[in-house]
């Protein structure tokens, strides 16, 4: 049985979920995505938990995003219809985390690129340190994401710039534009995050959940509709390149042989 790649800790009414693949910069493979989705669902139903924190193991990365090695293998293993179904499943997981009824906080201990930036922007709040950085890089390799998450966090003009350019956003800028709620030294990151999370968890649960439900409902276009629009567009209009073509430089540096199907 594969080792657990999402660790769950409960303390003071807070659930801390840690993406635990530090040697791979916490890259989000199918196992990690499934475990994270399941952990969020369990903590959402746990009456002892009033707030959920998500972070990455190690000091370098919250998560480097999708696991390119796994994507490359999947491109060889599955038909296009099967790949579309797997992509839709991953996207559904992102939506379910965004629509989690309990407040969610990203404890941003390092870089969050690609799918990890999508995850981070789907959370309610983010607390970061000087090592934190973000990159919404889908347009750099022919894909689309974060159209339903990022504008709600930083506003339309800044979201457009970050999605169109796929450039890196360092910690100071992330704080200035509202992508980070708080920016603290790395030595204070857990303490600051837990201060915010426990403050929320101690408040009246029905009030906190009610506030989140109303905010989600009143965002204008229903959040699930925004998500489904992006899912349908990426399935039917812009699928993007396969991993081999999308990430040639990464594969040249870190590629490994893959078995024929």
Who has greater pLDDT, 232 or 17? 17
Whether residue 185 has pLDDT greater than 90: yes
**Predicted TM-score (pTM) of this structure:** 0.84
Contact 197, 14 (CB under 8 A): yes
Average pLDDT over every residue of 107-126: 97
Who has greater pLDDT, 138 or 35? 35
Q: Which domains does the chain have, with CATH numbers?
A: 6-254 (3.90.226.10)
Structure token pair of residue 138: 């889908």
Sequential DSSP letters for 162-220: HHHH--EEEHHHHHHHTS-SEE--GGGHHHHHHHHHHHHHHS-HHHHHHHHHHHHHTSS
Distance (Å, whole) CA 179 – CA 74: 32
Average pLDDT over every residue of 199-213: 96
Average pLDDT over every residue of 140-155: 89
Whether residue 138 has pLDDT greater than 90: no
**For the stretch 39-78, what's the b/e string if a residue is b when 16 or more beta carbons lie within 10 angstroms of its beta carbon?**
bbeebbeeeebbbbbbbbbbeebbbbbbbbbbbbbbbeee
């Amino acid at each position: 049985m594969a080792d657990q790649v999402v660790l769950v800790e409960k303390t003071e009414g807070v659930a801390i979920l840690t993406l635990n693949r530090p040697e791979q910069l916490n890259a989000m493979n199918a196992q990690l995505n499934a475990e994270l989705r399941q952990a969020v669902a369990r903590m959402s139903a746990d009456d002892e938990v009033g707030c959920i924190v998500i972070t990455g193991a190690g000091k370098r990365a919250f998560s480097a995003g999708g696991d390119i090695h796994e994507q490359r293998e999947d491109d060889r293993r599955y038909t296009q219809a099967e790949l579309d179904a797997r992509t839709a499943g991953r996207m559904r997981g992102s939506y379910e985390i965004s629509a989690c009824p309990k407040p969610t906080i990203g404890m941003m201990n390092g870089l969050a690129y690609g799918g990890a930036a999508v995850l981070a922007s789907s959370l309610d709040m983010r607390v970061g340190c000087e090592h934190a950085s973000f990159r919404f890089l889908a347009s750099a390799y022919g894909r689309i994401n974060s159209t339903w998450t990022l504008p709600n966090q930083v506003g339309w003009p800044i979201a457009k710039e970050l999605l169109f350019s796929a450039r890196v956003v360092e910690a100071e800028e992330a704080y200035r534009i509202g992508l980070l709620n708080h920016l603290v030294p790395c030595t204070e990151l857990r303490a600051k995050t837990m201060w915010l999370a426990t403050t929320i968890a101690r408040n009246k649960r029905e009030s906190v959940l009610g506030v989140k439900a109303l905010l989600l409902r009143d965002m204008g276009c229903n959040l699930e509709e925004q998500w489904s629009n992006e899912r349908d567009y990426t399935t039917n209009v812009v699928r993007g390149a396969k991993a081999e073509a999308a990430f040639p430089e990464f594969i040249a540096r870190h590629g490994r042989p893959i078995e024929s199907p």
